[in-house]
Amino acid sequence: MKNSCIKVQCPAKINLTLKVLDKREDGFHNIESIMQTIDLFDYLTITLTGALHTEIILKGNSPDIPYDETNLVYKAAKLFLDECNLSGYKIDVYIEKNIPVCAGLAGGSTDAAGMIYGLNKLFEDCLSENELHKLCAKLGSDLNVCLKGGCLLAKGRGEIIEPQEFKSFKVNLVKPLSLGISAKEAYMKFSNKKEKNISTELRKNFANDLEWAVIEDYPQLQSIKNNYPSSVMTGSGSAYYSLKEEFEPSDGYWVKNGLKSINKGVSLIEKYRIQ
């Protein structure tokens, strides 16, 4: 427990389908989406030591995320400690980012799910799997998918999950380096298009309603779709995946070919005590 270290593997996800339904009273939209975890991972190294006062310190290798209380990993650690009524611990977290940010790949969500999972392992599984899922649901829409992993039908705002038959397949990814799209932006554009009845006849051509919502605003996305017609935007973008063809390396684009679907979520790599 005290003076222990753990390393957690946190997978990205893709949306094989994403249908946006009605808007909820809390401002989110209800969705139905088949999500699949893939073997593109962030890694969390979490070190737990005793301290007079609770302290959460974040560090990492990416210049694209904040290392303060606004980070979802920080919020996840605080939520776990509060839920378990734990105090007097220093938690050092090193975040190794390999999943692009603002890509629709759940990079922030999977790290937060990994934080909750990792702390639970450090505290000897003090919460049940069901209790972990309840914590994840409080923090965000994709955490439950990343915690469970595999192929899942996600409902509600994404926190209600139903396991689906797992199939093994290859996944190729591409993302414009200079373009990130927040979920808030994508859903606002979806609502605007739907309310104004813009291009609604084209919506049925997209497996992802959010791709329909944003593609007309971004030439980079149009270029990907034109060059790779079978590709699909994942989540709120701006990453695309293809299950059929590899993406050619190109200036201004991050490309990752040869990934595959996996039948697991966040998982333990190693745990050890420290002096």
- Cite the active site residues: 13, 142
Distance of CA 249 to the CA centre of its chain: 24
User: In which element (H, E) is residue 224 found?
Assistant: helix 219-227
Strands 151-155 and 29-50, sheet pairing: antiparallel
Q: What is the 3-state composition of the chain as percent helix, strand, coil, each rounded to the nearest 5? A: 30, 35, 35
Nearest of 201, 222, 196, 226 to residue 211 by alpha carbon: 222
For the record, the structure tokens of 238 come out as 């701006």
* Identity of the amino acid at 46: I
77 contact partners, CB below 8 Å, separation of at least 6 = 56, 91, 93, 115, 119
CA angle 222, 223, 227 (to 5 degrees): 115
Task: Look at residue 92 and give its three-state secondary structure.
Answer: strand
Measure the CA–CA gap between 256 and 103, rounded to whole angstroms: 13
Task: Note whether 41 and 99 are within 8 A (CB).
Answer: yes
Nearest of 184, 87, 105 to residue 142 by alpha carbon: 105
Length reported for the chain = 275
Measure the CA–CA gap between 156 and 61, rounded to whole angstroms: 34
Rg of the chain in Å (alpha carbons) = 19
